[in-house]
Amino acid sequence: MQSKSTAITIGMKTDHEKGFTLIELMVTVSVLAIVLGVGVPGFQELIQNNRMAISVNDLVTDLNLTRSEAIKRGSSVTLCRRNAAGTACDTSANWLAGWIIFVDPDGDGMVDAGEQIIRVREAVKGLTSLNFSRTRVTFGAQGFSQGFNGTITFCDSRGAAKAKGRVLSNTGRLREASAGDALTCS
């Protein structure tokens, strides 16, 4: 019979031991805490930037669709703030509540009997305000938005410093707001 020698080792593994030492575990947890502390705030900003971009792209896409449909149909087409049901315009609603696009041959900005609703956009998520001085935009058969020009401002919880804007001209052209365009969040 052989006797096994017992050696006392602190913090070191012998060949037949498996697992982690307390020191290895502490180092791993410390590194993980540092990586999370640095990475999480950056990831949150990435998520906010993506939500903002989605909101901007949704409205830009719908404005372009409205203009395109007006030209294609040879008739006025309107994009307006929607009512709760998504069946009519609501001038008292907020742009954050969503909007509708509809064929508007008489250009009155109201969904009348027989006027087709092209798209209903649900409420905007991730923004604290969506500001535009107009309650609707009507594009004529030539694609112009005469009288509906203005700056559209998109804001989230980060405020005006991170706001995005789009400027709609009377000719129906959209452009990104520049540093000279005052963007205010409310």
All structural domains of the chain = 22-176 (3.55.40.10)
Kindly state the helix (H) or strand (E) to which residue 155 belongs, with its residue range: strand 150-155
pTM of the model as a whole: 0.79
Q: Phi then psi for 80, rounded to 5 degrees?
A: -145, 165
Residue-wise pLDDT tens digits, 137-177: 999 999 999 999 999 999 999 998 899 999 999 999 999 99
62: pLDDT strictly greater than 80 = yes
11: pLDDT strictly greater than 90 = no
What DSSP character marks residue 186? -
What DSSP character marks residue 89? B
The answer to whether 114 and 93 have CB atoms below 8 angstroms apart is no
- What's the rounded Cα separation, in Å, for the pair 155 and 70? 29
pLDDT confidence of residue 20:
79
